[in-house]
Structure 1
Amino acid sequence: MLRNLVKNVKLRAKVLERAEEFKLNNKAGEDVWFRELVLCILTSNSSFISAYTALNNLYDKLFSLNEDGISKVLKNSGYRFYNLKAKYLFNVRKYYGKLKAWIYPIANKDEYEAREELLQIEGIGMKEASHFLRNVGYFDLAILDRHILKFLSSYYFSYSKKSLPKKDYIYIESVLKSISISLNLPVGLLDLFIWYKATNKLVK
């Protein structure tokens, strides 16, 4: 089934077009990188649409608001966990101006090491770090969100834990990477096909 999905000419063209956008982000400046980081913090435990709406309502005001102000914007956007994410976003502002200079040279040498570096940021876990790196043009890491795990549980193996410990993440990532190699596709793009299968959308 997945092989047929990847062979879908129209869908593959859309995914490759999206990949080119990620590559452009890689060459972009600090603001694009930081915006992607904020988006990835917002997507954790939230739908992409909700996170994207909150991002658009908040981003231009992010540096002028205190933590309570950020929380109010998120709440008014219909976003869940607005207090917790406001705390993360208020604190993450200290990385603005140095994010790309920090992560870019590391990611160009070793994406796994870059992901480990990003885990230092409050509100960033394995999935969020992988998502961020993919969105700024690195395709060697898997983004194991609930859609991907549900897909894998339906077609490959069962995974029923509510949380995803780091060691499990690394193991499942290796499985997904093996699948992606058999399909001649970077694992960082494979999730877009699975996500499309689950949601009929190609965003992220």
Structure 2
Amino acid sequence: MLRNLILNQKLRAKVLERIEEFKLNNSANEEVWFRELVLCILTANSSFLSAFKALNCLGELIYYADETIISKNLRSCNYRFYNLKAKYIVEARKMIYGKLKDKIKPIADQDPFLAREKLLKIKGLGMKESSHFLRNVGYFDLAIIDRHVINFLKEIGALGEKRIRSLSKSQYIVLENILKSIASNFNIKVGVFDLFIWYKETNTIVK
């Protein structure tokens, strides 16, 4: 089924359109990069759609509002982890806003895996969220291993009957390498392959 999706010209066009948006983000300004970072902080332990809705509710507040105001607005948007994520957003802003692109882009241009290691120092970002952020600003060599990807790997027999509740860093890298191997069979990068899996599991391309 996945092969048929990848060969589907209409779907490929939609995926390539989304990829072009990510590439444009790569040359965008600091505000765009920080917005993508906040989106990934909000996505942790939440659905993408819930995080995206919360980000749009916050709007420009992510750039200047204090923790109390961000928390209040997240709560009004029916976002679950409003206090914790408000704290992470403000801490990320204090730590790296204004220098996020200058610090991460030169590293990612040379080694996106090293850039991911740097991003892990930001509270609220794990392997998945850091990979997601880098993909959304134009780097496609990292896997975004979420529940949809895990379901896909189970469907194709790559995980057997094993239940996975959380991934250690080493486990994440093992699954990432499996996905990269599969993606290479289709002659696409793993960050692009993710969008086809996302479509297969959700019937949308919004990630």
Give the TM-score band, short-chain normalised: over 0.9
For the pair 1:52 / 2:49, whether they are aligned, the reply is no
Q: Is 85-94 or 60-69 further displaced after alignment?
A: 60-69
SS at match of 1:167: helix
TM-score norm. by structure 2 comes to 0.96
Offset of residue 62 of structure 1: 2.5
Runs of at least 4 residues off by over 3 Å: none
Paired position in structure 2 for 1:86 = 86
Paired position in structure 1 for 2:165 = 162
* 1:51-70 equivalences in 2 (<5 Å): 51-70=51-70
Paired position in structure 1 for 2:152 = 151
Offset of residue 154 of structure 1: 1.4
Q: Is 61-70 or 139-148 further displaced after alignment?
A: 61-70
* 1:10-89 equivalences in 2 (<5 Å): 10-89=10-89
Match of 2:192 among 189, 192, 199: 189
Match of 1:202 among 198, 201, 205: 205
| Aligned equivalents of 1:15, 1:171: Cα separation in 2 | 25
For the pair 1:123 / 2:124, whether they are aligned, the reply is yes
Paired position in structure 1 for 2:108 = 107
Paired position in structure 1 for 2:137 = 136
Offset of residue 91 of structure 1: 0.6
Offset of residue 119 of structure 1: 0.3
Q: Unaligned regions of 5+ residues in structure 1, if any?
A: none
Offset of residue 63 of structure 1: 3.7
Question: Partner letter of residue 126 of structure 2?
Answer: G
Offset of residue 168 of structure 1: 0.4
Identity between Structure 1 and Structure 2 (%): 62
The answer as to whether partners of 1:58 and 1:70 remain within 8 angstroms in 2 is yes
| Aligned equivalents of 1:176, 1:113: Cα separation in 2 | 19
The answer as to whether partners of 2:2 and 2:200 remain within 8 angstroms in 1 is no
Q: Is 188-197 or 53-62 further displaced after alignment?
A: 53-62
| Aligned equivalents of 1:156, 1:15: Cα separation in 2 | 25
Measured on the aligned residues, the alpha-carbon RMSD in Å equals: 1.0
TM-score norm. by structure 1 comes to 0.97
| Aligned equivalents of 1:99, 1:202: Cα separation in 2 | 26
| Aligned equivalents of 2:173, 2:63: Cα separation in 1 | 35
The answer as to whether partners of 1:35 and 1:59 remain within 8 angstroms in 2 is no
Offset of residue 110 of structure 1: 0.3
| Aligned equivalents of 1:144, 1:84: Cα separation in 2 | 22
| Aligned equivalents of 2:114, 2:65: Cα separation in 1 | 33
| Aligned equivalents of 2:123, 2:18: Cα separation in 1 | 28
